[in-house]
Structure 1
Amino acid sequence: MKRSLSYLAVVLATASVLSACNSNSNDDDSDGDTGATSAGAWKAPVDDCDDPDAATKKISGTLKVGWSAALSGPLAGAVGAVLQGMKDRFAIENEAGGVSGVKLDVVTRDDAFDPAKAKANIGQLIQSDKVDVLDVFGSGQLDAVADDQNAACVPLLFAQSGVPTFRDVKNFPWTTQYLPSADVEGAFGVELLKQKYPNGAKVALAINQTESGKGLADGYKKALQGTNFTIVKEASLADPAAAATTLSASGAQVVINAAVTSDCPALSTAIGRTGWKPETFIQPSNCVDGKTLYAPAGAAADGQLVPVWLKNPASPLYANDAAVQDYLAKLKKLNNPAPTNSYTVNGWVIGDMMIDVFKKAAASSSGLSHAGILEAARVQEYQPPMFIDGIKWRMAPNAPLGILAFRTFQWNAAEQQFKPSGDVIDISGKYLTK
């Protein structure tokens, strides 16, 4: 059953994330035989587990979430902020008594963003640390661990990855992912363009040559089929300066950056040096941190658009938002060093979503067990307080997508902040049946 994927470059996704967006243009995220979508109707395939009894055993005392993560190397700072945000969310829940009296803990092992080390770490987390839930940063890491993790029937929740392969519920039933699929992001982007250009426009694509960038580009290409938009030029991001020169000569009104995080400021700066200012510049959803990804590009990044699903606690837009105020008050109490950091927010939200799953599992007939946790995750519908209002997390076995709506934000270089550009666009109707 092993699926061999390329080792993917990191993607620090919106409000966080360190993982590849997608690796396949055929983002078929459904399997017609995976069961009903109503809560409690989907059952974990425990008979296929190495140890079926362990999969159904009720968790007591402490529930351990094990992470294989880049705790060393250039990604360590961002990863550390994500993990601290999650630990803080767990700390708040533990202070309130835990989940049905079960306390929550986070166990970490360093993989230095190396898939081979991640594979070894997951084995140790399962066998030695006896964790109940797993998580990883990176699609290459997920590829390395998914077979072993599924055989062990330890649920891996909200992987910082968006690879279509692992949305195949039939072959990878014990794995769920957090990042948007390429098809979903592409469909959103095209809906946005239709609003701005009802008669169509010329589009240029900048493409990172990893599977991540190619996957996002293919998601856009698929969504653009049958529209009045024409792709007039594609350029590799292997050399941002060369890409900028190629794109600037294309005559395109729209530039779409199918990129990993490091490409976002690089392409902005390179295009700025050409003196060209495209009418519309859409960055990928993984490029959401204004301080590190937009501010360094100066005026060249002004007006760029990015799809977002998380509230930014540093934005004046949410100064009076009750959920943001509650979040900031709790992190202040816990002495979190960077509460407004987008990576911290991401970690908090992942922890919050896990807690929702754990509570639903505890209240289910399968109880707080590995099987119960998986069953709750597969049909989870939840509005995390730190999600933008009107954007829900929506999972179903035949559409395991999670994020199906975004709100566009536009970078204002003079004010050094993002400002909303339009309302939430929900494209769930394309994927979910009523």
Structure 2
Amino acid sequence: MRRTHLTALGVSAMLLLSACGTGGSSDEENTGASGEIVSAADCADPKAAAEKITGTLKVGWSAPLSGPLAAAVGAVIDGMRARFAVANEAGGVNGVKLEIISKDDAFNPEKAKANGLELIQKDGVHVLETFGAGQVNAMADDQNEACVPLLFGQASVPQYKDAKNFPWTTEYLPEGGVEMKAVVEQLKKKYPDGVEVALAANQTESGQSYANGFKAAIKGTNITIVKEAPLTDPNAAVTTLKESGAKVLVDAGVTTDCLALTQAVGRSGWKPETFVQPANCVDGATLYAPAGDAADGQQIMVWLKDPGNALYKDDQAVKEYLSNAEKHGVKAPLNSYTVNGWAIGDLMVDAFTKAAASSDGLSRIGIIKAARTQSYAPPMFIDGVKWTMSVENSLGISGFKPFTWSASKKTFEAGGDVIDISGN
């Protein structure tokens, strides 16, 4: 089982390769000599990896619990904790209760690496979770060596979807190129004769994944990038991009860029005809409403139901979510990050349940095998979108529904049908 630690340069190179068309691995690449996706025999301690989990299943989080991302990530963990509480109330997974142990990494990859080792070695967690591409990168080698699953990592870097090199790692967020395929499909419908685009790009791994994904998705189309600027300083980026005269502005950014870029555009007086935000910019209350009219008409690709949107007021899954959220003391049930955490918790519960029913049972090897072949439609996913993982393709989220922000109504409005990117 070959694994390599990825430096920043290595990440950029892999992202470029992905943007140039690398896809899912084949059956032969993803399976070992025994034909299995993951084998406990490759572990330093095969017995421990195959040992049945009893009593409590511990999920260890390394997360930015301090700093500018603390509120968003805290809401994710809050939602997951509530979903686990519902499972525990129903008897757990075959009688095994679920617990979250969280440690602050202040969005520092080196601290995330230390947290991961401590969670594995001292706290004895059975599963890991983290937020950020740099954090996944920092933790991946250690958790793969220890054969502790990192499930639904909050990142979108393509190399960690490679089951050969990182068999014990899965990511939740769609790879930037996958999301950007849906974005480009929307742009092609709106601009059949082509259009010029200004691209604002965050320089982190996640931001570059979006930027390179967009560049790959427009190949063979008459959509062109006329100017690109880094998001190190949103005001400087907007000054540069505005001068391009582009009709379309695409934000290849991370959560902290969403509002900052919108406000910079508003201050500049620039009114792009189309302003596309990344899917991580999904919370209307915190990332759009404060910008006022500057955010009006901004477009985003969505896969989760918004419990605060009138579109879902009669949706049974939303009603059950809100009832359970209130029952288990969720602080901000309408926050999209809370819903995100609930959905991830739901995916974990499904994987744990399927592992318990498998021949490997509820063990670390059983859990990662279940997660790598998981097909499930979480109730809080938009109808028509599901989670799908296979040996051939670690896709995850199968599609997106476009939405547009209405500043006057302070809500997202549906902007089209679900765009399926699964290839099915």
Considering the TM-score relative to the shorter chain, is it more than 0.5? yes
Q: 1:192 aligns with which of 186, 189, 194?
A: 186
**Corresponding residue of 2:4:** 2
Given that residues 155 and 206 in structure 2 are in contact (C-alpha distance below 8 angstroms), is that contact kept between their aligned partners in structure 1? no
1:403-424 per-residue CA deviation (whole Å, 9 max, x = no partner) reads: 1310111110111111111111
1:283-302 per-residue CA deviation (whole Å, 9 max, x = no partner) reads: 11111111111112211110
**Corresponding residue of 2:368:** 374
For structure 1, the 5+ residue unaligned runs are 8-19
1:280 aligns with 2:282: no
The 2-side partners of 1:43 and 1:276 are apart by 51
Given that residues 22 and 164 in structure 1 are in contact (C-alpha distance below 8 angstroms), is that contact kept between their aligned partners in structure 2? no
Q: Which secondary structure does the structure 2 equivalent of 1:396 belong to?
A: coil
**Corresponding residue of 2:218:** 224
How far does residue 277 in structure 1 lie from its aligned partner after superposition? 1.5
1:53-72 alignment runs, 5 A limit: 53-72=47-66
1:74-153 alignment runs, 5 A limit: 74-153=68-147
The 2-side partners of 1:417 and 1:222 are apart by 31
Task: State how many pairs are aligned.
Answer: 414
**Corresponding residue of 1:10:** none
Stretch deviating more after TM superposition (133-142 or 109-118): 109-118
For structure 2, the 5+ residue unaligned runs are none
Opposite residue 38 of structure 2, the aligned amino acid is A
**Corresponding residue of 2:39:** 45
Q: 1:169 aligns with which of 141, 146, 163?
A: 163
Q: 2:339 aligns with which of 329, 345, 348?
A: 345
**Corresponding residue of 2:239:** 245
Q: Which secondary structure does the structure 1 equivalent of 2:226 belong to?
A: strand
Higher relative contact order (CA 8 A, sep 6+): 1
How far does residue 308 in structure 1 lie from its aligned partner after superposition? 0.7
Given that residues 81 and 344 in structure 1 are in contact (C-alpha distance below 8 angstroms), is that contact kept between their aligned partners in structure 2? yes
Stretch deviating more after TM superposition (134-143 or 216-225): 134-143
**Corresponding residue of 1:209:** 203
1:384 aligns with 2:375: no
The 1-side partners of 2:61 and 2:312 are apart by 31
1:413 aligns with 2:407: yes
The 2-side partners of 1:57 and 1:21 are apart by 38
Q: 1:183 aligns with which of 169, 172, 177?
A: 177
Given that residues 205 and 258 in structure 1 are in contact (C-alpha distance below 8 angstroms), is that contact kept between their aligned partners in structure 2? yes
Query: Runs in 1 of length 4+ with deviation above 3 angstroms?
Result: 20-23
Q: Which secondary structure does the structure 2 equivalent of 1:326 belong to?
A: helix
Q: Which secondary structure does the structure 1 equivalent of 2:265 belong to?
A: helix
Stretch deviating more after TM superposition (241-250 or 151-160): 241-250
How far does residue 35 in structure 1 lie from its aligned partner after superposition? 4.7
How far does residue 22 in structure 1 lie from its aligned partner after superposition? 12
Q: Which secondary structure does the structure 2 equivalent of 1:24 belong to?
A: helix
How far does residue 76 in structure 1 lie from its aligned partner after superposition? 2.4
Q: 1:296 aligns with which of 290, 299, 319?
A: 290
RMSD: 2.0
**Corresponding residue of 1:26:** 17
1:259-338 alignment runs, 5 A limit: 259-338=253-332
The 1-side partners of 2:259 and 2:356 are apart by 44
Q: Which secondary structure does the structure 2 equivalent of 1:108 belong to?
A: strand
Which of the two has greater helix per residue?
Answer: 2
The 2-side partners of 1:63 and 1:22 are apart by 37
Given that residues 409 and 420 in structure 1 are in contact (C-alpha distance below 8 angstroms), is that contact kept between their aligned partners in structure 2? yes
Opposite residue 45 of structure 1, the aligned amino acid is S
TM-score after normalising by structure 1: 0.91
The 1-side partners of 2:16 and 2:307 are apart by 34
The 2-side partners of 1:177 and 1:210 are apart by 17
Opposite residue 311 of structure 1, the aligned amino acid is K
The 1-side partners of 2:201 and 2:217 are apart by 16
1:369-424 per-residue CA deviation (whole Å, 9 max, x = no partner) reads: 11111111001111000001100011112211201310111110111111111111
Opposite residue 333 of structure 2, the aligned amino acid is P
Change (3 A) 1:21 1:119: same
The 2-side partners of 1:420 and 1:168 are apart by 34
